[in-house]
A and B are shown apart, each in its own frame.
Chain A
Amino acid sequence: RKEVEQDPGPFNVPEGATVAFNCTYSNSASQSFFWYRQDCRKEPKLLMSVYSSGNEDGRFTAQLNRASQYISLLIRDSKLSDSATYLCVVNGGNTGFQKLVFGTGTRLLVSP
């Protein structure tokens, strides 16, 4: 089983739609969780950290479910510019930030 698993997609949605991605992780000792965004052929960039209580940043909401070992990302009112690959990132158990494990990403395509 992969340490971090994501549905590769692509998710094709129209502008204005709400879309959600899930990501599961296998290491129950993991403490830190992130969503990164990667545009085609570009470097990944941090989108948001994921906190235990859930957190929101504008149109983006991240949730953590420790019992089921998954995190989610909800994007409301999708924009064309949201088209990208979203990477789920989890720290490797008790390694702090030394070892961040990246999922393979979920591709989102927002169409007019």
Chain B
Amino acid sequence: EAQVTQNPRYLITVTGKKLTVTCSQNMNHEYMSWYRQDPGLGLRQIYYSMNVEVTDKGDVPEGYKVSRKEKRNFPLILESPSPNQTSLYFCASRGYANTGELFFGEGSRLTVL
């Protein structure tokens, strides 16, 4: 089954404790992206990657890091999480041949205390 898989789905952590949210897709897509969704603000892009070893900042990259060492994986790293990073995070992917449709993971709800 074609899918984008994120882990963990739910996480409660404390300020400053490094964490990684993994994202993996099995559709051989070149493009992958991370979004955060907050009430009243909609989905905002954090980082995106056009292909392996190619990443770029989105609209809200501060406090986040990403890497793209393999085509299928695009982890999101929070080196020192803060409460304002409490949010619902979505990973998405898209193939170049696609019309622009993004395939989203199920989301990761992160709470930073």
Q: Are B100 and A43 in contact, with the CB atoms below 8 A?
A: no
Q: Are A102 and B58 in contact, with the CB atoms below 8 A?
A: no
Q: Are A102 and B107 in contact, with the CB atoms below 8 A?
A: no
Q: Which residues of A contact B50 (CB under 8 A)?
A: 98
Q: Are A100 and B42 in contact, with the CB atoms below 8 A?
A: no
Q: Which residues of B contact A105 (CB under 8 A)?
A: 42
Q: Contacts A42-B106, A45-B104: A102 and B48 contacting too (C-beta < 8 A)? A: no
Query: Interface size of A by Cβ–Cβ distance < 8 Å?
Result: 21
Q: Contacts A34-B100, A97-B31: A43 and B90 contacting too (C-beta < 8 A)? A: yes
Q: Are A49 and B100 in contact, with the CB atoms below 8 A?
A: yes
Bound together, the chains give a CA A4 to CA B42 distance in angstroms of: 10
Query: Interface size of B by Cβ–Cβ distance < 8 Å?
Result: 23
Q: Contacts A97-B94, A104-B40, A104-B42: A46 and B101 contacting too (C-beta < 8 A)? A: yes
Contact of B42 among A32, A43, A98, A103 (CB under 8 A): A103
Q: Are B43 and A44 in contact, with the CB atoms below 8 A?
A: yes
B58 to chain A, nearest CB (A): 7
B positions within 8 Å CB-CB of A: 31, 35, 40-45, 48, 50, 56, 58, 90, 94, 98-102, 104-107
